[in-house]
Structures are given as structure tokens and as C-alpha cells.
Structure 1
Amino acid sequence: MDYSKIIFVTKDDTSRGPLAAAILRQKMPIEPIEIESRGLIVLFPEPINQKVEAIAAAKDLDVKGYASQQLSESDFGKDVLVLVFEESLKPTVYEEYAEAQNVYTFKEFINESGNIADPYGGELQEYGKLYDSLNELMRKLVYKLRVPKLS
């Protein structure tokens, strides 16, 4: 594995990012890798969205006590993979962080295109669909991270 840390980045770090991090931790429990999430606009730590918390509890994912965190210069490094959920966030990260490197949209990194929709304000069922989508995307991510690259 080429990365020692993976950071999922969304705008506010209260739903998609923490959920994605929890799913990936569940799928890669013994890998020597840190899995975190961050936000681009976090004025103060906020708890995870209650609907995400309910979905996480139903899927046996640990998000208890999670509070949103602002992305910072110290988060970047040559062995850190930064995955944003929306195409518009990628150039923003590069513009706002001098140390930014290894920044991809999530789908770009797994050779797909498009954004991962934010169900903000939606019903619990929409957050369940988000979980299903992220769960499938994580399967593809784990595969890509574990398959040796050909030289």
C-alpha cells in the first residue's frame, strides 16, 4: 500500500466523510493505515448528522462522539491520500492549501466519474441509500489499494 493515511474531505465533515471513514475502517480493520475525514468549512466542531448516526448504528459502524474537523496544512503528505466527494472541491483544496498533494475526487481515484451526492435535509431512507452507495464504492477502493501496481 502506498498510503499511510486516507482523508475523506467534504464541505462540513458532518455526514458523508465521517460515514465513509467508518465504512472503510470496518472493511480494513487490520491495515496499518489511518482513516479520517475533514471539512473545508468547519467554524467549530459539530456532531455527526443524526440520520448518519442512525444509519451507522444500524450497520454497526463506530461514529460515537465524532465531531467535525477542519482540513489543515498538516493533514497533507506524500503518503496521504485525500479524497474529495465533489469535483468542485478538488481545485478548492489545491487553491487554499499550499501543501496539498495526492488530492482526487473519490470516483476519479477508482476510475469512475461524478460526485457523491449529499442527502442533507433528506429522509432517513436517502441516508440509507448513501450508505449503500458508499459501501459499494469502498469495496472498489479497497480493491484498488490492495492490488499491486504493475511496473
Structure 2
Amino acid sequence: MKILFVCTGNTCRSCMAEAIFNKLNTLEDVSASSAGFSIVKGSKTSKNSALLVKENLDCDISKREAVQLTKEMLEGADLVLTMTAYMRDIILGRFPNIKNKVYTLKQYVGVKGDVADPYGGDVSAYQKTFDSLKNLIDALLHKIEEDKGII
């Protein structure tokens, strides 16, 4: 199963979600990647995102370059999880043929709202987003396990 996390610039939320998911995941044949709607070519993971991933997961994503979202990525993913309803709706508007696999992350795990964008904020704003993502990904992993009949 290929999961694709999507946010705006792929330097804060979606790359943190990818790192958290891949660190916590113990399921075989399940992995995550991430991309952004509107990346700045050559941009790297934000300093605060990289710091929190390093401190909490012992993973270094500081040199990771932002990845531009493509049609092929959307079609190749088994599950596309956006950070906001607006992003989900843009994807569904452009690619109605993949409507059965595109959700917001919160929607997929049964929570209302969007994942807050910490871009431009201080470390505490990033920490709140990181903590929110970790909780949502814990719920996501649990849901995948249930769906696969593991638990």
C-alpha cells in the first residue's frame, strides 16, 4: 500500500507526516511519501520541521528537497491524504477518477478540520503541528491494521 501525504510546499506538514508514518509503521508493504501542490524548486524541509523530526524520531530530513505533486503520483498512490479540505477538493476537481482514494488526513481517521500549517511560525507552532500529525498517524496506522484484519 502506497500512501501519499500532500500539503502546499512539501516543506512542513506533509514531509513531517511522511517521516512520522515511515518511522512508526511496522506493516509490511505499506509506505508513505509526500509532495506539495506548489513547491519552490530547490527548497528544503523547513528548519523547525527538520529539528522536530530529528528530536522526536531521530531521523534527519534537513537535506530533503521538496517534491512537486504530479498526476502520476496521484494515480500511483493507493491512498492520498491531504492536509486540508481545500487541497482535497482541488485534487478531486481535477482528477474525479481517483475520488475513492482521496481524503483529508483528519477525515480519513474520523476527525473534523484541517491540519494547521505552521509555516512562518515559531518552534511551538511546529511542535503543535508535529504532535497533531503524530496523533493522527497513530490513528491512521490503527485504521490500516483494522482494515487489513490485523487487529
Which TM-score tier does this pair reach, normalised by the shorter chain? 0.7 to 0.9
Superposition map of 1:1-151 within 5 A: 4-29=1-26, 31-59=28-56, 60-77=58-75, 80-97=78-95, 100-101=98-99, 102-148=101-147
**1:112: how far off?**
1.2
Q: 1:85 to 1:126 in 2, by over 3 A?
A: same
CA distance in 1, matches of 2:145, 2:77: 15
Question: In the alignment, residue 18 of structure 1 is paired with which amino acid?
Answer: C
CA distance in 2, matches of 1:146, 1:34: 13
Does the 8 A contact of 2:46 with 2:62 survive in 1?
A: no
Q: 1:61 to 1:90 in 2, by over 3 A?
A: same
CA distance in 2, matches of 1:30, 1:149: 10
Task: Name the structure with the higher helix share.
Answer: 2
Q: How many residues align?
A: 147
CA distance in 2, matches of 1:11, 1:108: 18
CA distance in 2, matches of 1:37, 1:79: 10
Question: In the alignment, residue 67 of structure 1 is paired with which amino acid?
Answer: E
CA distance in 1, matches of 2:18, 2:125: 19
Which stretches in structure 2 are left out of the alignment for 5+ residues? none
CA distance in 2, matches of 1:24, 1:108: 17
CA distance in 2, matches of 1:145, 1:125: 30
Does the 8 A contact of 2:45 with 2:64 survive in 1?
A: yes
CA distance in 1, matches of 2:28, 2:59: 17
Question: In the alignment, residue 4 of structure 2 is paired with which amino acid?
Answer: I
**RMSD value, Cα:** 2.0
Question: In the alignment, residue 73 of structure 2 is paired with which amino acid?
Answer: D
CA distance in 2, matches of 1:96, 1:11: 16
CA distance in 1, matches of 2:113, 2:125: 18
CA distance in 2, matches of 1:43, 1:139: 30
Q: 1:128 to 1:43 in 2, by over 3 A?
A: closer
- Superimposed CA distance per residue, residues 86-131 of structure 1 (whole angstroms, 9 cap, x where no aligned partner): 1111111123346644110111100111000011111111111111
